[in-house]
A and B are shown apart, each in its own frame.
Chain A
Amino acid sequence: MNAIIFSAIMGVVMMFSGILLQKKSAVTTTAIVSLLLLLSMNLLDSYSVFSINVNTHGLLHFNKFGLFFNSILIAATLIFAVLCGSEIEKTGVNVADYYALIFFVLCGTSILTSFNGLLMLFLGIEIMSIPLYILTGAEKRNLKSNEASLKYFLMGAFSTGLLLMGIALIYGATGSFALKVSTTMAASAGVLSTSFLQIAGLILLFVSMCFKVSAAPFHFWTPDVYDGAPSVFTSFMATVVKAAGFFAFLNLFESNSAILGPSWKILLSFVIVATLLVGNITAVFQQSIKRMLAYSSISQAGFMLFALYSNNDMAKEGILLYAVAYCLATIGFFAILIKVKDYTFDGFNGLAKTQPVMAFTGVVFLMSLAGIPLTAGFFAKYYMLASVVKSGGSLWIVVVAVLFAAVSVYYYFKVIQSMYFKEGTPEVAAISPNFKTGLLLVAAAVILVGVLPSIVLNWFYF
């Protein structure tokens, strides 16, 4: 409960900090300190040292997995704030409000990592989404940002409608919004006699969750929104928010997938293949790196969906690792991207010459995203694939995934090619040494996790 309470409080604090503090950088500092506080609170909670307990009447359920996942998300936000804080300051005048909204998003993610019923799921998603609509439109004068915001909003609201219809149908079938009850009922009733109503509800739920994690064919908002949103917030959206969505997805279908019977795997494999296909193939032709990253985030989602597919312990560990790897690499790379004026591939030409540190760390991040061994991304993908193999059967989908992973190398390495093998003078914003250090640290973390993934996982079991 610590995280939910403190993130809400910090959000309010940030709102006021905007009034109290004159300098934008002071706001950022406040935010970073607040995040640190939030992180430590959450960690204290997860080790049961200090936790505020509120009787939630079974609506929220705090377990180690969720808390740890939440810590990862908060830590990712912290890294995000440290690396991109200066850019947030440049986005608009309401810096404090942006941070406040980020904290509210974190409140939403905290709910999503601990929800124990469809009501809290719904609330969590909404608390998470509504600030995001705003953040997407943060550049008010930028038509793209406006457009992205409106698109995101309309489609998000639409998917909320689907989600609610799903919830309603499930409620009709089970008479409860709890996750557990529906399973027990299903179990006692036996899979065969599962209500069609519930199945319809679950499918709608599935669809709206697919929408949230931008799985094809419900991914359409992703490229446009990621592209249109201010890059800083894209970075945040693509990592923290998406990871939280995945956690919710996983949590939601961990027990419910059985109800759908064999069609569950068919549906899921359909979605996975479609996601990998759309994400990877479409990314190939992109001219803008930012948009390419948007598509690549779709393809990464395809990989993360394997956790649902296999639905075992390994998948849980995997999704943790994936969240870490993906957040680190994406936040890192976006931090680099933001500094470059021109988001096209040509804009990166020759970056290695002018900004060796940025280029090198960029390579590390891209390799991690591509899943090259000894980067965190490898183990992330490894766990995903391994969990599917472990669950037995359906090796074909692993092979398909692997082939698409090879396609992904194409567009990730295209960036490397631009940076290292092509001549050019990229326009880069002023880089502070701290920023470089930060990048190097993140890159080091990527490699460290890549060499010893158990670092992350041992914390989990600790």
Chain B
Amino acid sequence: MIALLLILTPLVAGFCSFAMKQGSTAKNFSLLVSIVTLAIALLAIGSPAGGSFDTAWLTDLGSRFTLKMDGMGKMLCLLTAVSYPLIFAAVYKSDYKNPGSFFGLMLLTQAGLMGVFLAADALLFYFFWELALIPVYFLCSLWGGEKRIAVTFKFFVYTFIGSLLMLVGILYVYFHTADHSFAMQSFYKAQLSDHQQSYMFWLFFVAFAIKMPIFPLHTWQPDAYEQAPTATTMVLSGVMVKMGVFAVFRWLLPIFPNAASSNSMIIIILSVTGMLYASLIAIKQDDIKRMIAYSSIAHIGLMCAAMFTNNKAAFDGVMIQMFNHGVNVIGLWIIADLIEKQLGTRKLSDLGGLAQKAPALAILLVIMALANVALPLTNAFIGEFLMFSGLFQYNMFIAAIAGISIILAAVYTLNMVQKVIYGNLNAVTENATDISFNVKLVLVIIALVIIVFGVFPQPMIDLTKTSVEALFVKK
């Protein structure tokens, strides 16, 4: 029941929010709702059963409305639940036209995301997968930047193609389940020959790869991140890309274990190529948002590579990295948004010297940046360490090459830090002021998360232990 509440709360609230004309009402309401959702999520994590929900729906089709909350689901629900209050608080001072609709759509997105992470039925999963996309489409197209319509559309079509291919895959697997059911467990037991698996594997993987995104299917992402309203960008990069990662764990690896292992090399090479490639491009970016976008691609690339190593440590790493990357990147976006809002530019070359005008911002940015380069004792380190260790056991050379991205990450991140906060003030940054209280609060919370989970990661690891156990395929 708790699981259902996690979806229903934002869903209902989202529809309510549409009716709110007053900006502040909508803001307060949605912030409140998101906090309530967080509370529910914490409750769900606390409850040992985890909270499952099951009711008849589309029984003719062999599908049921089944929600299941295992460790992995908990982790991502937590991420979703945590990020929304942070995002709402961070944009508390921003003004949106039609605020009711804006926050309503945001909440609907949250409902979709929760659904994706909780669904234990393939068809239901597919629904939520798509439903999470629709509000985002409107959010980006209505409140985005100049090129929003074309860019958002590219993003939409791209992901839509992916999900349709996945639908074909789902259908195929469905007809190969013993009991003709979309239930997760039936899917796991589906009888597929290696040959069939390898076809289906790619149908699924393309969908997930587009979402993550994996090189070379990533080009929608920087544009979309750049053009989307920042609150949405935060959701996109913080939570939505995790849909792909999550889905690989939940739907790809258990259903097609053989195909996953036989194709792992290709995917890992692709991912690692993507990591380096994205890092290189990030070095050359002058636009702070695009830089963060490419850095995100690089990080996700590592996660994707780690997922195909069939290594428990790597799986653990991916699990906690899903959460940590989500939180960290939201922090970075908040700062990027702040800079853009306040100074009217996203160009790194226009900035400089903010440390003098905004010391608090500077410190927090440095912390976020350090998390971005996965410095030890930040939360990102744990994940990356485990993932790299898994990747290393899969193939040393690939791990070594992938490791270069650690260096490149340092290059572009420090480059950004330097250009934003260090150096002398210029005409653009002269009138900058330090961050407002709400943003500071959010960023401090994120910074605390970064450090606390960097020093004590074990609870997070334990949360997903059983999920990892289940994923691991004994050779």
**Bound complex: CA of A389 vs CA of B175, how far in Å?**
8
**Bound complex: CA of A454 vs CA of B61, how far in Å?**
9
Q: Does B92 contact A (CB under 8 A)?
A: no
A410, B157: Cβ atoms closer than 8 Å: yes
Q: Does A140 contact B (CB under 8 A)?
A: no
Contacts of A410 in B (CB 8 A): 153, 157
Contacts of A392 in B (CB 8 A): 175
**Bound complex: CA of A385 vs CA of B141, how far in Å?**
30
Tell me the chain B residues, 38-89 only, with Cβ under 8 Å from chain A: 57-61
Contacts of B160 in A (CB 8 A): 406, 409
B171, A406: Cβ atoms closer than 8 Å: no
Which of B124-132, B349-357, B374-382, B396-404 is found at the contact surface with chain A?
Answer: B124-132
Q: Does A158 contact B (CB under 8 A)?
A: no
Contacts of A373 in B (CB 8 A): 126-127, 130-131
Q: Does B5 contact A (CB under 8 A)?
A: no
A417, B168: Cβ atoms closer than 8 Å: no
B164, A389: Cβ atoms closer than 8 Å: no
The B interface is mostly helix, strand or loop, or mixed, namely helix
A386, B171: Cβ atoms closer than 8 Å: yes
Contacts of B141 in A (CB 8 A): 417, 420-421
Q: Does B149 contact A (CB under 8 A)?
A: yes
Among B138, B157, B167, max chain A CB count under 10 A is at: B167
**Bound complex: CA of A426 vs CA of B465, how far in Å?**
58
Given known contacts A420-B142, A454-B60, A374 and B161 CB-to-CB distance under 8 angstroms: no
B157, A372: Cβ atoms closer than 8 Å: no
User: Contact string, B159-181, partner A, CB cutoff 8 A, digits 1/0?
Assistant: 01100110110011011000000
**Bound complex: CA of A57 vs CA of B18, how far in Å?**
60
Q: Does B188 contact A (CB under 8 A)?
A: no
A395, B175: Cβ atoms closer than 8 Å: no
Q: Does B156 contact A (CB under 8 A)?
A: yes
Contacts of A405 in B (CB 8 A): 164
Q: How far is the CB of B121 from chain A (nearest CB, A)?
A: 13
Q: Does B456 contact A (CB under 8 A)?
A: no
Given known contacts A409-B156, A417-B141, A457-B60, A402 and B168 CB-to-CB distance under 8 angstroms: yes
Q: Does A266 contact B (CB under 8 A)?
A: no
Q: Does A5 contact B (CB under 8 A)?
A: no
Q: Does A413 contact B (CB under 8 A)?
A: yes
Given known contacts A373-B127, A406-B157, A406-B161, A421 and B168 CB-to-CB distance under 8 angstroms: no
A402, B156: Cβ atoms closer than 8 Å: no
User: Contact string, B111-142, partner A, CB cutoff 8 A, digits 1/0?
Assistant: 00000000000000011001100100010011
Q: Does A390 contact B (CB under 8 A)?
A: yes
Q: Does A108 contact B (CB under 8 A)?
A: no
Contacts of B58 in A (CB 8 A): 452-454
**Bound complex: CA of A422 vs CA of B161, how far in Å?**
25
Contacts of A374 in B (CB 8 A): 127, 131
Q: Does A203 contact B (CB under 8 A)?
A: no
B131, A421: Cβ atoms closer than 8 Å: no
**Bound complex: CA of A453 vs CA of B59, how far in Å?**
10
Given known contacts A373-B130, A389-B175, A398 and B153 CB-to-CB distance under 8 angstroms: no
Tell me the chain A residues, 233-274 only, with Cβ under 8 Å from chain B: none
Q: Does A399 contact B (CB under 8 A)?
A: yes
**Bound complex: CA of A405 vs CA of B160, how far in Å?**
9
**Bound complex: CA of A4 vs CA of B124, how far in Å?**
42
Q: Does B437 contact A (CB under 8 A)?
A: no
Among A399, A422, A453, point to the contact of B168 (Cβ < 8 A).
A399
Q: Does B96 contact A (CB under 8 A)?
A: no
Tell me the chain A residues, 190-210 only, with Cβ under 8 Å from chain B: none
B167, A385: Cβ atoms closer than 8 Å: yes
Q: Does A52 contact B (CB under 8 A)?
A: no
A385, B142: Cβ atoms closer than 8 Å: no
Tell me the chain A residues, 53-91 only, with Cβ under 8 Å from chain B: none
Among B58, B127, B171, B175, max chain A CB count under 10 A is at: B171
Q: Does A403 contact B (CB under 8 A)?
A: yes
Contacts of B57 in A (CB 8 A): 452
Among B127, B131, B148, B168, point to the contact of A389 (Cβ < 8 A).
B168
For B124, give the chain A residue with the smallest CB separation: A373
Q: How far is the CB of B65 from chain A (nearest CB, A)?
A: 11
Among B138, B164, B199, point to the contact of A406 (Cβ < 8 A).
B164
A420, B138: Cβ atoms closer than 8 Å: yes
For B60, give the chain A residue with the smallest CB separation: A454
**Bound complex: CA of A417 vs CA of B61, how far in Å?**
34
B168, A385: Cβ atoms closer than 8 Å: yes
Q: How far is the CB of A153 from chain B (nearest CB, A)?
A: 39
B127, A403: Cβ atoms closer than 8 Å: no
For B144, give the chain A residue with the smallest CB separation: A421
B171, A385: Cβ atoms closer than 8 Å: yes
**Bound complex: CA of A364 vs CA of B174, how far in Å?**
28
B130, A402: Cβ atoms closer than 8 Å: no
Contacts of B199 in A (CB 8 A): 395
Contacts of A420 in B (CB 8 A): 138, 141-142
A402, B149: Cβ atoms closer than 8 Å: no
Tell me the chain B residues, 173-219 only, with Cβ under 8 Å from chain A: 174-175, 199, 203
Tell me the chain A residues, 433-462 only, with Cβ under 8 Å from chain B: 452-454, 457
B138, A395: Cβ atoms closer than 8 Å: no
Q: How far is the CB of B171 from chain A (nearest CB, A)?
A: 4
Tell me the chain A residues, 137-188 only, with Cβ under 8 Å from chain B: none
B161, A398: Cβ atoms closer than 8 Å: no
For B196, give the chain A residue with the smallest CB separation: A395
Tell me the chain A residues, 325-380 only, with Cβ under 8 Å from chain B: 367, 372-374
Given known contacts A390-B175, A413-B156, A399 and B142 CB-to-CB distance under 8 angstroms: no
**Bound complex: CA of A399 vs CA of B169, how far in Å?**
9
Contacts of B153 in A (CB 8 A): 410, 413, 417
**Bound complex: CA of A373 vs CA of B126, how far in Å?**
8
B130, A372: Cβ atoms closer than 8 Å: yes
**Bound complex: CA of A367 vs CA of B135, how far in Å?**
13
Q: How far is the CB of B229 from chain A (nearest CB, A)?
A: 13
**Bound complex: CA of A386 vs CA of B167, how far in Å?**
9
Q: How far is the CB of B59 from chain A (nearest CB, A)?
A: 8
Contacts of B148 in A (CB 8 A): 421
Contacts of B149 in A (CB 8 A): 417, 421-422
Q: How far is the CB of A360 from chain B (nearest CB, A)?
A: 10
Q: How far is the CB of B138 from chain A (nearest CB, A)?
A: 7
**Bound complex: CA of A32 vs CA of B371, how far in Å?**
68
Contacts of B59 in A (CB 8 A): 454
Q: How far is the CB of B175 from chain A (nearest CB, A)?
A: 5
Given known contacts A373-B126, A374-B127, A417-B149, A402 and B164 CB-to-CB distance under 8 angstroms: yes
Given known contacts A417-B149, A420-B142, A395 and B126 CB-to-CB distance under 8 angstroms: no
Given known contacts A417-B153, A453-B58, A389 and B161 CB-to-CB distance under 8 angstroms: no
B172, A395: Cβ atoms closer than 8 Å: yes
Q: How far is the CB of A313 from chain B (nearest CB, A)?
A: 11
For B203, give the chain A residue with the smallest CB separation: A399
**Bound complex: CA of A219 vs CA of B160, how far in Å?**
28
**Bound complex: CA of A280 vs CA of B53, how far in Å?**
40
Contacts of A406 in B (CB 8 A): 157, 160-161, 164
For B161, give the chain A residue with the smallest CB separation: A406
Q: How far is the CB of A398 from chain B (nearest CB, A)?
A: 5
Chain A residues with CB under 8 Å of chain B are 367, 372-374, 382, 385-386, 389-390, 392, 395, 398-399, 402-403, 405-406, 409-410, 413, 417, 420-422, 452-454, 457
A sample of 20 inter-chain contacts (CB < 8 A) reads A372-B134, A382-B167, A382-B171, A386-B175, A389-B171, A395-B168, A395-B172, A399-B165, A403-B161, A406-B157, A406-B160, A406-B161, A409-B160, A420-B141, A420-B142, A421-B141, A421-B142, A421-B149, A454-B58, A454-B60
Among all A-B residue pairs, the 10 with the closest Cβ atoms: A402-B164, A406-B161, A389-B171, A373-B130, A373-B127, A421-B141, A386-B171, A454-B60, A398-B168, A421-B149
Given contacts A382-B171, A389-B171, 7 further A-B contacts (CB under 8 A): A372-B134, A374-B127, A390-B175, A398-B171, A399-B168, A405-B164, A406-B164
Chain B residues with CB under 8 Å of chain A are 57-61, 126-127, 130-131, 134, 138, 141-142, 148-149, 153, 156-157, 160-161, 164-165, 167-168, 171-172, 174-175, 199, 203
